[in-house]
Amino acid sequence: MIGIESKLSDNVKRMRPSEIREILTLTENRKVLSLAGGLPGPEVFPKEELAAIASRVIEELGDSALQYSPTLGVMPFREAVVDFVKGKGVKVNDNDRVAVTTGSQEAIYLLAMTLVNPGDGIVVESPTYLAALNVFRYHGAEFIPVPIDENGMRTDLLEDSIKKAKQRGINVKMIYTVATCHNPTGVIMSDDRRKELLEVASKYDLLVIEDDPYSFFVFDDTNFTHLKTMDSEGRVIYLGTFSKILAPGLRLGYMIADRQLTRAVELAKQMVDLHSSTLSQYIALYAIREGVVDKTIEKARKAYKEKRDVMVDALEEYMPEGSHWFKPKGGLFAFIYLPEGVDTADMLPTAIDRGVAYVPGRNFFSDGSGANAMRINFSYLSPDKLRTGIKIIADTAKDYLASKRATSA
């Protein structure tokens, strides 16, 4: 057997496993209630409509739909994406261009390739989306974490954090935010804070990545304005995805940003995957045109709101005293803080043995905090299973605390 390890590039040493994907692998083929991934509820997938559309796309457009296509995406789909986001209140500037990407995860990766030099500073919410942290970390970014509360990023702390990073010699370059229906907490940044964020970005000449997979799923009457729409200086890069509003298996996301940046992203994408799936793009195009996407959004919002309510009831009923969380205003996730002393990573194997999986909170913090926190997803399981899953987690946490107390007594 040859030794592969000595052949691996130095890059591999900087790669971190995605805890979520590892847990998904661990729980595959086991009867585990997974509250770990960000999976849409399968009942929401428009299966019949997509089966009919897929077959029509191949019959009608087979020669082009099965063919290679331009790196930034097929033109009718790019145009449809612009109309679609405009219809959802996202401002698109004359100088903007769309890049279709293989999920918005690829957009994050391409942005890191094109914007981040080792040592560059990126402001992130604390906690934030763990796979963005992994990408930026791989590209050598320095994180500037800013805490959040129920109104999103604490923008009152933003300028000071940037100043301190600059004093340490860091070239602060951008702010990455999941401002609407935040992953992992489900909070929505208030418009006042969005304004403040943009003012600070302008003062320090920072780019802003508005990563927005979840703004279609706002459950209560919370008003918000997209950062992209508030921005008058062309510094907001908007990321969207069809993963939660159609199907993640299509692997379709998009970036809308200044044309110069889009050109750089195009060059990067030429190296990574040439282009995103042509077939997926035509399927999504038909789905937008025929109202399937809007119908799926409505169906998902209703289903997820109901599940959010079931989850919150179950949390209140079962979680050990001293636990706390934000009631998610939208999205797919809740972030639970268990009492101090619980290490959710340490507790996970027991939870999985008892039939339930979640993501330990530490992964969502750039500074390694959050040991007593966990992210749970509420979109995937049926309401009954969700309730059962939360009860198992709560019982496991109570047992964990009791055994800690017993060993320290």
Number of residues that bind ligand PMP (CB under 6 A): 13
Binding mask 163-202 for ligand PMP (x = CB under 6 A): ---------------x----x-------------------
Write phi, then psi, for 197 (nearest 5 degrees).
-60, -45
**Considering beta carbons, is residue 19 or 211 the nearer one to ligand PMP?**
211
C-alpha separations of 291 from 44, 52, 73, 239 in Å: 15, 14, 21, 22
- Dihedral, 67, 73, 74, 80 alpha carbons, nearest 10: 140
**Considering beta carbons, is residue 46 or 396 the nearer one to ligand PMP?**
46
Dihedral-angle region of residue 380 (phi above 0 means left; psi in -120 to 50 means alpha; beta otherwise): alpha
Residue-wise DSSP of 133-158: HHHHHHTTPEEEEEEEETTEE-GGGH
**Considering beta carbons, is residue 241 or 281 the nearer one to ligand PMP?**
241
Please report, as residue ranges, which positions from 214 to 273 form the binding site for ligand PMP (by CB under 6 A).
241, 243, 248, 253
| Residue of 211, 336, 362, 396 that binds ligand PMP (CB under 6 A) | 211
Looking at beta carbons, which residue is closest to ligand PMP? 103
Give the shortest CB-160-to-ligand PMP separation in angstroms. Answer: 25
Please report, as residue ranges, which positions from 131 to 170 form the binding site for ligand PMP (by CB under 6 A).
none
Give the shortest CB-199-to-ligand PMP separation in angstroms. Answer: 24
State whether the Cα torsion 210-167-160-140 is positive or negative.
Answer: positive
Give the shortest CB-170-to-ligand PMP separation in angstroms. Answer: 24
DSSP class of 42: G
| Residue of 40, 213, 330, 361 that binds ligand PMP (CB under 6 A) | 213
**Considering beta carbons, is residue 194 or 387 the nearer one to ligand PMP?**
194
**Considering beta carbons, is residue 108 or 356 the nearer one to ligand PMP?**
108
Please report, as residue ranges, which positions from 12 to 41 form the binding site for ligand PMP (by CB under 6 A).
38
Give the shortest CB-241-to-ligand PMP separation in angstroms. Answer: 3
Give the shortest CB-231-to-ligand PMP separation in angstroms. Answer: 19
Token pair for residue 162? 């940037």
Token pair for residue 72? 């930034």
Applying CB under 6 A, does 129 fall inside the site for ligand PMP? yes
Token pair for residue 85? 């986001």
User: What does the angle CA 313 – CA 318 – CA 321 come to, to the nearest 5 degrees?
Assistant: 110
**Pairing outcome for strands 333-337 and 324-325:** antiparallel
DSSP class of 256: E
**Considering beta carbons, is residue 129 or 304 the nearer one to ligand PMP?**
129
**Considering beta carbons, is residue 110 or 261 the nearer one to ligand PMP?**
110
**Considering beta carbons, is residue 319 or 334 the nearer one to ligand PMP?**
334
Helix (H, G, I), strand (E, B) or coil at 219: coil
**CB crowding 346-359: b at 16 or more within 10 Å, else e:** ebbeebbeebbbbb
Give the shortest CB-300-to-ligand PMP separation in angstroms. Answer: 14
Give the shortest CB-265-to-ligand PMP separation in angstroms. Answer: 15
Q: Where are the alpha helices (DSSP H) in 204-354?
A: 227-230, 259-272, 278-289, 292-318, 344-353
Q: In angstroms, rounded to a whole number, what is the distance separating the alpha carbons of residues 205 and 60?
A: 48
Give the shortest CB-62-to-ligand PMP separation in angstroms. Answer: 26
**Considering beta carbons, is residue 287 or 342 the nearer one to ligand PMP?**
287
**Considering beta carbons, is residue 104 or 134 the nearer one to ligand PMP?**
104
Please report, as residue ranges, which positions from 94 to 123 form the binding site for ligand PMP (by CB under 6 A).
103-105
**Is the distance from CB of 334 to CB of 326 less than 8 angstroms?**
yes
90 Cα distance to chain centroid: 18
The half-sphere exposure of 8 on its side-chain side, counting CA atoms within 13 A, is 9
Give the footprint of ligand PMP on this chain (CB under 6 A): 38, 103-105, 129, 178, 183, 211, 213, 241, 243, 248, 253
